[in-house]
Structure 1
Amino acid sequence: MDIKRAFVILLERWWIVAVTLVIGIGAAIVATLVTPPQYTSNAQLFVSTTGGTSSTESYQGDQFSQQRATSYAQILTSEILGQRVADALGLNLSGSAVAGKVTATVVPKTVLLDVSVTDSSADRAADIANTLSDEFIAYIVPLETPTGQDQARATVTIVNGAEAATSPTTPKLATYLIYGAAGGILIGILLVILVATLDRRVTKRSDAESLTGLPVLGPVASVTRSPEGRRTQLDKWASPDAEAFRKVRVHLQSIPTGPQVILVTSSSAKESTVNFSVDLAVALAESDHRTVLIETDSAHPAIAEQLSLHASAGLVGLLADTADRPDTPDHIVAPTTDRYLDAVPVGVGLDATPMLSTTAMRDLVETLRKSYSYLVIDAPPLSSSGSAAVLAGLCDGTLLVIDTKLARDRDVAAAVRELQGSDARPIAAVLATSSRRR
């Protein structure tokens, strides 16, 4: 995944980062409220050596003090010294518990020792730090005094005594907020990357082109309209989505072979193409070409209601009635309010699937060819029915509709393989974004 692609994905799913950012900030506030406050008191000690008046002796003494300071830092955090502090202050704590509150560090390139004590009580932290300093000085005197001598080779002096802190060291709301916000953003970015990796939807033109090997049209908005919305559309289609379908129409009309019978299908059962088929038929009829829309998905009949068509037997009734089938389209189709657009709803009561491969269906298509410039046949998805593959042999070309919200790459790839295995003559793939409009 390149940087540009990653940036686009972040922009598309920015809300995930926003949610994790809010959660991170909320967690920081909660952590601040529930975390017991801790106070830190600091003392500073100075290590020096005795003797020596020349510059060489002074330098050697300074080196000796620095070496000693490193060792002293270890002693200051020892359990033995911690126990001495606990006994001196009468604390109900073990030596290791007191030592765990102590941090001792050597100031680089100096003979200074910084001693920090952290405790839930500011006063107790200061008492421990000051007592620790006193006990430490008393503890090292015999260690640094050679046998038979009265003077220690190194001495420690308190430079700055510890004072009770006026504000807690932790928790700091500002610090927690920074960590919470940074953590929230980082987790959000990781979630976006994970979702993008696991999301196998076909949303980009380049993805559709590589999967189908076809020209890719769109994107178009496949809108579910109410009967009133369809009437408005047929009267004057002025909504923003109209222009995208007009571009699809121009592409179809520019094909040298001039497909007259156009099959519309999709890859998976979740993708309905009925709205796309109606909009495409309306766009073709807009150019003053007589167009008929044929619905074949009896499992999900829709166009009779959407186009407010008069009750009729529909496609299944026509194909089932073999005794008296008319040879003219007037008795077959239902007119809409657009004089250039007619429709053949699928009808109810019977399953259309087994009838689509009959001679009756072929004869119907051939009859309609004589009276209409365009036939738009809406077929069920390829994965849920073999109807599309059967109907492909009756058509001049196929449009594979890819719903960018629902289509998965494996389904699209399988649909292309099925189309290639039939006499489908695919024209193009169309990226469609499904939406609902009342």
Structure 2
Amino acid sequence: MLYDLEGKADSVELRDYIRIFQKSWVLIAVFLFLGIGAAAGYSIIQTPKYSSSAKVFVSTSGGSSVSDLQQGNTFTQQRVKTYADLTTTPIVLLPVISELGLDLSSTELANMITASAPLDTTLIEISVTNVDAALSAEIATAVSENLAKAVENIETASNETGAESPVKLTLVQHAEVPQTPVSPNVPLNIALGALVGLALGIGLAVLKEALDNRIRNERDIELISEAPILGGIVFDPKASERPLIVHDDPKSPRAESFRTLRTNLQFLDIGRENRSFVITSSIQGEGKSTTVANLAITLADAGARVLVVDADLRRPKLHEYLGLEGAVGLTDLLIGRAEPSDVIQPWGKGDLFVLPAGKIPPNPSELLGSEALVTLLAEFNRAFDIVLFDSAPLLPVTDAAILARLVGGTIVVCAAGKTHKGQLKGALANLSNVDTPVSGIVITMLPTKGPDAYGYGRYGYSYGYGDTGEPTESSPKVVASRP
């Protein structure tokens, strides 16, 4: 089943953020706990402070009519704000310092005091914050009493008749000694620390993801190319020890990945006269040659007559993976030194045949673009159901691009976690420059755990196996089309 590229724009941002969280949850958790720890530590080293409040009622005298009372109330509300501001002035604070014997200046004492007047009321609330709970209550009460005296003196002095002040401040709530500190607010500090730590962790995770330019999953490829994703090959830490996983461990998830790739390749083969494919990659080490070898084995197991050609005339590897003699091969055919029947070697029990690269020539690009190869390709297409060419990477040399112009299709191998997005773009651009469309992309080295984990059922059908490791009757069997 070819991967569907339609309808992939919905919920992209949310999905990406969820993926980042899944990948970097350890980093985010570390910063979260660091933020909580920093907030808790800050709260512990802070000296507790206590706050005590007293309330003063402001009233006016004179007049008994309703109109006089309304005017007096309006006058009082207008003056309350002024009296609240008067609380932190030296005229009020200096007597308090003297009475309580405080070793403070009026400015230092003013910094401990806040006075507020609620809207549409004639109350003034005076709060004092200090490290000494009892002292904060004493200061709040003393400030309230001295404010009343100061206002009375000021209003009396400003009265031209010399009569008593019409304004009176009454202490209606004495300050009480607080039992619990108001600072530090440990729950609030920890909540803020957790929020800051979480924000930093998420920010660093997003930044890390933005700076990571490597291909991670099929979505990264979708953003670069519209070519179908034919399949994904899961990562195997022992791949170098057992490159032919389909042959060595047919029940493994990685072997199943190649069978899924085989199934998807069938769709590309429908109606084609030229049933040859060049398999290449952007750079070295992306699993290109092992993909060719394992795919060829699965095709042969499904009943197809397959020819694998090692067209990497710079660093040939196929003969080593398959355990064959590679001294003679494709180069000998291209220069007319040998016939196909002399150098093509059978492999395994099925109809799988291998054409090694032969000796490394000084001019690989010229040989691969020669008329001799065109003639050979036509002969191969007549004799085999599918022909797979293992070619050199696209970015270092032009061999694969030249060969891609001659064959029926091009498959690009991309290694998850290794290939950079720019490298894949460059490789696809090289094919586009020679007017060669990409038949499909195969992702290798996909992780089996984590947010980028690969489930092979996503790209094709699932298979059942008996005790022998061979496909059961319920398993689909793919046979490449014949001319």
The TM-score bracket by the shorter chain reads 0.7 to 0.9
Moved more, 145-154 or 218-227: 218-227
Kindly state the Cα deviation for residue 419 of structure 1 after the two structures are TM-superposed.
Answer: 0.2
Q: Secondary structure at the match of 1:65?
A: helix
Kindly state the Cα deviation for residue 200 of structure 1 after the two structures are TM-superposed.
Answer: 4.9
Alignment partner, residue 287 of structure 1: 302
- The code of the aligned residue for 1:151 comes to E
State the alpha-carbon separation in 1 of the partners of residues 406 and 237 from structure 2. Answer: 28
Alignment partner, residue 112 of structure 1: 123
Q: Identify if the C-alpha distance between structure 1 residues 240 and 321 changes in structure 2 by more than 3 Å, giving closer, same or farther.
A: closer
State the alpha-carbon separation in 2 of the partners of residues 90 and 352 from structure 1. Answer: 102
CA deviation map 1:138-180 (0-9, x unaligned):
2222112124435222122222222332222122221122222
Mapping of residues 184-333 of structure 1, within 5 Å: 184-191=197-204, 193-195=206-208, 200-201=213-214, 208-209=221-222, 211-221=224-234, 223=236, 225-226=238-239, 229-230=242-243, 233-234=246-247, 237-254=250-267, 255-257=270-272, 259-267=274-282, 271-295=286-310, 307=321, 309=323, 312-313=326-327, 319=331, 325-328=337-340, 331=343, 333=345
Within the alignment, does 1:158 sit opposite 2:165 as a pair? no
CA deviation map 1:39-87 (0-9, x unaligned):
2222222111222333332232222222222112212234554454444
Within the alignment, does 1:181 sit opposite 2:194 as a pair? yes
Match of 2:183 among 170, 187, 190: 170
Q: Identify if the C-alpha distance between structure 1 residues 404 and 275 changes in structure 2 by more than 3 Å, giving closer, same or farther.
A: same
Q: Secondary structure at the match of 1:265?
A: strand
State the alpha-carbon separation in 2 of the partners of residues 302 and 87 from structure 1. Answer: 96
- The code of the aligned residue for 2:386 comes to Y
Alignment partner, residue 417 of structure 2: 405
Moved more, 256-265 or 371-380: 371-380
Within the alignment, does 1:138 sit opposite 2:149 as a pair? yes
Q: Identify if the C-alpha distance between structure 1 residues 436 and 178 changes in structure 2 by more than 3 Å, giving closer, same or farther.
A: closer
Kindly state the Cα deviation for residue 12 of structure 1 after the two structures are TM-superposed.
Answer: 0.6
Within the alignment, does 1:355 sit opposite 2:364 as a pair? yes
Kindly state the Cα deviation for residue 234 of structure 1 after the two structures are TM-superposed.
Answer: 0.9
Identity of aligned residues (%): 28
State the alpha-carbon separation in 2 of the partners of residues 119 and 232 from structure 1. Answer: 75
State the alpha-carbon separation in 1 of the partners of residues 255 and 117 from structure 2. Answer: 76
Match of 2:81 among 54, 63, 70: 70
Task: Please say if residues 395 and 424 of structure 1, whose CA atoms lie closer than 8 Å, have aligned partners that are also in contact.
Answer: no
Task: Please say if residues 31 and 201 of structure 2, whose CA atoms lie closer than 8 Å, have aligned partners that are also in contact.
Answer: yes
Moved more, 372-381 or 318-327: 318-327
State the alpha-carbon separation in 1 of the partners of residues 209 and 11 from structure 2. Answer: 14
Q: Identify if the C-alpha distance between structure 1 residues 392 and 54 changes in structure 2 by more than 3 Å, giving closer, same or farther.
A: same
Kindly state the Cα deviation for residue 343 of structure 1 after the two structures are TM-superposed.
Answer: 5.1
Q: Secondary structure at the match of 1:117?
A: strand
- The code of the aligned residue for 1:117 comes to V
- The code of the aligned residue for 2:19 comes to E
Task: Please say if residues 271 and 407 of structure 1, whose CA atoms lie closer than 8 Å, have aligned partners that are also in contact.
Answer: yes
Kindly state the Cα deviation for residue 257 of structure 1 after the two structures are TM-superposed.
Answer: 1.0
State the alpha-carbon separation in 2 of the partners of residues 27 and 314 from structure 1. Answer: 69
Kindly state the Cα deviation for residue 209 of structure 1 after the two structures are TM-superposed.
Answer: 4.7
Task: Please say if residues 268 and 382 of structure 1, whose CA atoms lie closer than 8 Å, have aligned partners that are also in contact.
Answer: yes
Task: Please say if residues 346 and 352 of structure 1, whose CA atoms lie closer than 8 Å, have aligned partners that are also in contact.
Answer: no
State the alpha-carbon separation in 1 of the partners of residues 200 and 10 from structure 2. Answer: 18
State the alpha-carbon separation in 1 of the partners of residues 283 and 89 from structure 2. Answer: 70
Within the alignment, does 1:13 sit opposite 2:20 as a pair? yes
State the alpha-carbon separation in 2 of the partners of residues 425 and 44 from structure 1. Answer: 84
Alignment partner, residue 378 of structure 1: 390
Kindly state the Cα deviation for residue 262 of structure 1 after the two structures are TM-superposed.
Answer: 1.6
State the alpha-carbon separation in 2 of the partners of residues 200 and 232 from structure 1. Answer: 30
Gapped runs of 5+ residues in structure 2?
1-7, 450-483
Kindly state the Cα deviation for residue 281 of structure 1 after the two structures are TM-superposed.
Answer: 2.7
Within the alignment, does 1:52 sit opposite 2:63 as a pair? yes
State the alpha-carbon separation in 2 of the partners of residues 340 and 284 from structure 1. Answer: 9
Mapping of residues 25-104 of structure 1, within 5 Å: 25-78=36-89, 81-104=92-115
- The code of the aligned residue for 1:287 comes to A
TM-score, normalising length: structure 2: 0.74
- The code of the aligned residue for 1:13 comes to I
Alignment partner, residue 464 of structure 2: none
Moved more, 284-293 or 63-72: 284-293
Kindly state the Cα deviation for residue 115 of structure 1 after the two structures are TM-superposed.
Answer: 1.6
Q: Identify if the C-alpha distance between structure 1 residues 64 and 278 changes in structure 2 by more than 3 Å, giving closer, same or farther.
A: farther
Moved more, 294-303 or 5-14: 294-303
CA deviation map 1:299-320 (0-9, x unaligned):
8776566x462565477xx748
Moved more, 270-279 or 42-51: 270-279
Alignment partner, residue 427 of structure 1: 439
Task: Please say if residues 73 and 104 of structure 1, whose CA atoms lie closer than 8 Å, have aligned partners that are also in contact.
Answer: yes
CA deviation map 1:168-223 (0-9, x unaligned):
21222211222223333444444455555555555565664563343333344354
Alignment partner, residue 460 of structure 2: none
Task: Please say if residues 223 and 436 of structure 1, whose CA atoms lie closer than 8 Å, have aligned partners that are also in contact.
Answer: no
Alignment partner, residue 481 of structure 2: none
Gapped runs of 5+ residues in structure 1?
none
Q: Identify if the C-alpha distance between structure 1 residues 99 and 397 changes in structure 2 by more than 3 Å, giving closer, same or farther.
A: same
State the alpha-carbon separation in 1 of the partners of residues 273 and 374 from structure 2. Answer: 20
Q: Identify if the C-alpha distance between structure 1 residues 303 and 163 changes in structure 2 by more than 3 Å, giving closer, same or farther.
A: farther
Within the alignment, does 1:396 sit opposite 2:408 as a pair? yes
TM-score, normalising length: structure 1: 0.81
Q: Identify if the C-alpha distance between structure 1 residues 324 and 201 changes in structure 2 by more than 3 Å, giving closer, same or farther.
A: closer
Alignment partner, residue 128 of structure 1: 139
State the alpha-carbon separation in 2 of the partners of residues 105 and 122 from structure 1. Answer: 21
Task: Please say if residues 244 and 290 of structure 2, whose CA atoms lie closer than 8 Å, have aligned partners that are also in contact.
Answer: no
Q: Secondary structure at the match of 1:43?
A: strand
Q: Identify if the C-alpha distance between structure 1 residues 200 and 289 changes in structure 2 by more than 3 Å, giving closer, same or farther.
A: same
- The alignment covers a number of residue pairs equal to 431
Q: Secondary structure at the match of 2:413?
A: strand
